[in-house]
Structure 1
Amino acid sequence: MSTTQFFQTPEGRRLAYHKSGDAGPTVVFLGGLKSDMEGTKAIHLEAWAHARGQAFLRFDYSGHGESDGRFEDGCIGDWHQDTLAAVDALTTGPLIVVGSSMGGWQALLLARAIPERIAGMVTIAAAPDFTEDGYWASFSDTQKHELDTQGFVELPSDYMEPYIISKRMIEDGRDQLVLRTPLTLDFPVRFLQGTQDTAVSTSTAVRLLEHAAGPDMRLTLVKDADHRFSDETCLNMIIQSIEEVISAE
């Protein structure tokens, strides 16, 4: 479909990306924690964009996929810097931001940083503030001691080897929280959430909907859909949501 290219961020991180199409607005896919731009949703959306000539960007955060760096060294703020650098260097004009899981948090951070460029947003199992409300809130006293003394804890994953969660990720996450202060999304927004998601709860999706302010915001709960949200029905729903926010732009 497209070939992997690389660019360097102002912070000196070398990131991998795929860019295709030229008809605006540009659809930007933001992946989840420890996922990469070769995932089912990213590839499916690229094929959809290619078929209609839509400008499309997918990339790997530092420490993810083909980009340089180690996952263990990164944090939410680093990946926010990566996202800002990618859209600044690789796109022009309005953006439709599609964020999956941690990418949903990144989409919200992007909207807070450059609201003038966001024309619409779709999130899939958005996980805002999860370092605080998910990780830190669930850590035992033993895990908190490990974090303080050795600088990291290991958490099991349903999808791959254990996550290494660093003290830096937890502390930096507190500087990136979006559910504690006003969050204005002044453009069409579609939140998508599966009811069988074991990583992000429906209560998180409802909390985000209730907290954010905007003129055109909807939450769709999909019965029995899991965190991957990647079967044919879910993929079609993502595309339909993107097309809705583009047409409403």
Structure 2
Amino acid sequence: MSSSSISAANILRLATSVKEHLSYVHIPTASDIGLVLVNGWCSTLSGSRKNNFFAQCARRRKLTLTAYDHYAHGLSSGSMDKFTIGAAKQDLLRVLDEVVAPNQRQILIGSSMGYWLSLLAQRERPERIAGIVGIGGAPNFTALLLDELAPGQIDHLTHLARTEQRASYQRPSQYDPAGYEVGWSLLQEGQQHYITKGWKVSCPVRLFHGMRDRDMPWTEAIKYIDYMDSRDVTITLIKDGNHRLSREQDLKQVAKELDLLSGCEMMGAEREA
């Protein structure tokens, strides 16, 4: 693997069933802390400037790095119309249980949907998670997608699902000319995993959010911060930042927080200079 990027040549497979697998990268170290990159919806582990940046962060700080593709994303198997939040949460738990060392605590770096999944996972594996760093966090984003649909579209998707046809639609995206496939099961099942008031959080949470985020308005991000039952939760608003926050100056801000959470604060600033 390159010293500063995630390479497809180093991708491994984790079987999740007889027919399905997750593709992942795992670079172990002897450190007490590791980083797990939890991608957003329709994002993949390789070819991402953000993931490459954090791979470099991990290498320079001698922290274990783990990154993976969600079900039906990147090199992982699966069909996008069957992708759900619940299954994605289980896959993250599987990575924590079967890939990373059992005696090593992890900082989850959750981008967009990955932040939502991280908040779900910490409730089930509190002893494994040292902190959550969110980037353009998008909890409950499926509710926003559901609100976009007209009654006729909902009826059509419901009919497709009942007749066991491919129940999905293509949603336009500023990130992909072809748009994104949205499964009806994603929108329906996602309701079972909404972040709600009084959400228990057992680790530090640090969210970075752009005030020019068109996908998840910063006002929504603050609302979900307020839902969390913890005092160790902060949000940093970046006035000119968009949803992805993948600019160098954005990522360097995140890296400083990683230094604090991982105990590398004495060396991080110098290494990112």
| Alignment partners' CA distance in 1, 2:255 and 2:65 | 13
Is the CA contact 1:62–1:79 (under 8 Å) kept in the aligned structure 2? yes
Distance 1:56 1:219, change over 3 A: same
- Aligned position for 2:109: 98
| Alignment partners' CA distance in 2, 1:69 and 1:10 | 11
Task: Tell me the TM-score normalized by structure 2.
Answer: 0.85
| Alignment partners' CA distance in 2, 1:28 and 1:136 | 29
The secondary structure found in structure 1 opposite 2:78 is coil
Would you say how many aligned residue pairs link Structure 1 and Structure 2? 246
Residues 14-33 of structure 1: pairs in structure 2 closer than 5 A = 14-22=21-29, 23-33=31-41
| Alignment partners' CA distance in 2, 1:230 and 1:186 | 28
Is the CA contact 1:34–1:71 (under 8 Å) kept in the aligned structure 2? no
Residues 132-211 of structure 1: pairs in structure 2 closer than 5 A = 132=143, 134-150=144-160, 151-160=167-176, 161-179=178-196, 181-211=197-227
Is 1:47 aligned with 2:56? Answer: yes
* Deviation sequence 1:57-107 (CA, Å, 0-9, x none): 000011001111122221111111111111111112211111000101111
Q: Which amino acid aligns with 2:132?
A: M
Deviation at 1:222, TM superposition (A): 0.2
- Aligned position for 2:70: 61
Is the CA contact 1:21–1:50 (under 8 Å) kept in the aligned structure 2? no
Is 1:238 aligned with 2:254? Answer: yes
| Alignment partners' CA distance in 2, 1:88 and 1:11 | 19
Extract structure 1 runs of 4+ deviating beyond 3 A. none
The secondary structure found in structure 1 opposite 2:173 is coil
Q: Which amino acid aligns with 1:115?
A: P
Deviation at 1:138, TM superposition (A): 2.3
* Deviation sequence 1:176-195 (CA, Å, 0-9, x none): 1122x531222221111001
My pick for the range that moved more, 147-156 or 90-99, is 147-156
- Aligned position for 2:12: 5
User: Gaps spanning 5+ residues in structure 1: where?
Assistant: none
Deviation at 1:121, TM superposition (A): 0.9
Deviation at 1:154, TM superposition (A): 2.2
User: Gaps spanning 5+ residues in structure 2: where?
Assistant: 2-6, 161-166, 265-273
Is the CA contact 2:195–2:224 (under 8 Å) kept in the aligned structure 1? no
Is the CA contact 1:187–1:215 (under 8 Å) kept in the aligned structure 2? no
Is 1:117 aligned with 2:128? Answer: yes
Distance 1:29 1:183, change over 3 A: same
Larger Rg: 2
| Alignment partners' CA distance in 2, 1:11 and 1:223 | 47
| Percent of matched pairs sharing the same residue | 27
| Alignment partners' CA distance in 2, 1:146 and 1:163 | 18
* Deviation sequence 1:136-173 (CA, Å, 0-9, x none): 12222222122222322321111112222222111210
The secondary structure found in structure 1 opposite 2:14 is strand
Task: Tell me the TM-score normalized by structure 1.
Answer: 0.93
The secondary structure found in structure 2 opposite 1:156 is strand
Is 1:77 aligned with 2:86? Answer: yes
Deviation at 1:11, TM superposition (A): 7.4
Q: Which amino acid aligns with 2:138?
A: A
My pick for the range that moved more, 147-156 or 219-228, is 147-156
